[in-house]
Amino acid sequence: MLLRKCSFISNIFVRKKKGTQLSADNIFYIQNSNLEKINKTVFVCCEENEKIDQAIHNLSIEDCGRFAIDKIMGGQEIQLMSRPWLALLYFKTKNGSYAFKCAGTLINKRYVLTAAHCFLDQELLSVRLGEHYISQERDCRGDFCAPPVEDIDIERIFVHEKYSRVTRHNDIALVKLSRDVEVKENITPICLPTNYDLQQEVNNMAKFHVTGWGKNENGPFSDFPKQARLNRIDRLQCQNSYPSREIVSTQICAGGVGYDSCKGDSGGPLSYIKYLNDYQRIVQYGVVSIGKRECGNGSPGVYTNVGSYIRWIAYKIATK
């Protein structure tokens, strides 16, 4: 197809000519659009774009991000089944042990979003959905019990092609489950910032939530997921906390003294509540990527900006 007739790609080139910095999504898509110049006429493959647009539309499902209303302050236990998109990733580590080592989020019936660095030197065996108390065979509070957890095998793992273990840029990955999951009370997808307004809004947000089974202040891993409210940290201040790393626009910084994501939360969600389609919903804006060894010491955590990778996510879902 002629480049000028493929509106999405031609608009990217217009923004580039105007000096606009291209997102990681834009660069990835151009690299995979098979540009070819014949006698000064540029042709592209635009069919993939239609598939990607449909995949993005499918991610914007009606029931994503619905949650139980609860009061959470500073790393408190969340209500049973109130964050039904949380996933635990079960690994065989390089020393031969077996453990839950990373978190993730269910984004549709077949895919889990997580961090690329989770797959270094360890083998993912399965994903657990619908979990709350790791130590309990059945999650109950009093006489009320949640449906059983589901441990699901893996069909395929997609680590971002430009992921750097040195810089942690493009620290994002997708896990394709071996089967579709049935949406129920304790297993439901989270919302993603699939439209332009949500993707741009993150630049002005001052508060976020981070959720996971990470370390407590005293060291051991939590048996249940907790949530903490984090302040947005500007990029310059964040850069000062990580002088050996370059903090870029595809990353978000958030944290504060006593409030941070910790080891064990890698791949988990940075999110916030939005009013969408007549309901309050939770939208995932970030993926836990980088943190200091001392959790909550005042240094911010660094999160992969999910909005920068929506088309990458959709491309993998649509074409693989």
Q: Is 266 a catalytic residue?
A: yes
Please give the Cα distance from 19 to 2 (Å, whole number).
Answer: 23
Place of tokens 């000028």: 4
Place of tokens 């893996």: 154
Please give the Cα distance from 177 to 182 (Å, whole number).
Answer: 12
Active-site entry in 25, 171, 260, 265: 171
Supply φ then ψ for residue 19, to 5 degrees.
Answer: 90, 10
Please give the Cα distance from 313 to 74 (Å, whole number).
Answer: 31
Q: Is 289 a catalytic residue?
A: no
Active-site entry in 23, 33, 117, 299: 117
3-state secondary structure of 4: helix
Q: Is 178 a catalytic residue?
A: no
Active-site entry in 33, 82, 241, 266: 266
Cβ(180)–Cβ(109) under 8 Å?
yes
Q: Please spell the DSSP secondary structure of 267-316, one letter per residue.
A: T-EEEEEEEETTEEEEEEEEEEEE--SSTTBSPPEEEEEGGGGHHHHHHH
Cβ(313)–Cβ(176) under 8 Å?
no
Residue positions counted in the chain: 320
CA distances (Å), origin 113, targets 83, 157, 193, 240? 15, 10, 13, 29
Specify which residues 153 forms β-bridges with: 126
Q: Please spell the DSSP secondary structure of 204-261, one letter per residue.
A: G--EEEEEES-B-TTSSBPSS-EEEEEEE--HHHHHHH-TTS---TTEEEEEBBTB--
Please give the Cα distance from 308 to 286 (Å, whole number).
Answer: 10
Catalytic residues: 117, 171, 266
